[in-house]
A = this chain, B = another copy of it.
């Protein structure tokens, strides 16, 4: 891929934005330098701890954010406490939903997360003025819809073993989107309980399936979180592909 990214008018680009992924692959790519500058005056960066509530069911819909780094989990909960994680978001995803109140989806930081937040009003005005921005949002929303539907197949039709393998595969590909080799190493961005809530299983079942994959030498685990996949193809087979 092109290692040197072309970026005209670097001098006009706000400092904060220059190294930001959202500038290149995210929604901010739709903005001119001038608009970016204007927006950046109202934007604020912050770093939050795991489990921090970023979007609550009723909480602040007053701002939108770009994810700079880290993983955000979107989850739904039933009245009796049963929980389901319905999506994971990575940098440089856009967080928050224009034109609607979140219908019972809440967002929490899974890992430590850096975000760049803007006031709701500023974004919504820009959307109205910039069709290109709305186009970017449509693109991301379509991608999320695809991912949600992929996951529905996993939730509805795969066995526990296939689910866990699918999860590892998902993280592996998102952690290193451009990975060329077959071997990948990474840290799991979430606990066993979170993984269970993402897969529609119990954490005991997740643990047993991870142990089985380890014993079959499909994965290696140290310290509960650090995972090595020596051969992505073998993991892929376990995921039902």
Contact = CB atoms under 8 A, between A and B. Distances in A.
A105 B150 CA distance: 9
Nearest to A200: B156
A138 B27 CA distance: 14
Interface string A176-195: 00000000000000000000
Interface residues of A, number: 41
A157 B78 contact: yes
A86 B153 contact: yes
B144 A84 contact: no
A53 interface: no
A141 interface: yes
Contacts of A61: none
A105 B157 CA distance: 15
Contacts of A138: 99, 134, 137-138, 141
Closest 9 CB pairs of A and B: A156-B200, A131-B131, A155-B155, A86-B149, A148-B148, A84-B153, A84-B156, A82-B157, A86-B152
Given A84-B152, A99-B139, A145-B148, 17 more contacts: A74-B149, A78-B157, A79-B240, A82-B158, A83-B157, A84-B156, A100-B142, A105-B149, A131-B131, A131-B134, A137-B138, A145-B145, A148-B148, A148-B149, A152-B155, A155-B200, A156-B200
Interface of A: 74, 76, 78-80, 82-84, 86-87, 97, 99-100, 103-105, 131, 134-135, 137-139, 141-142, 144-146, 148-153, 155-158, 199-200, 240-241
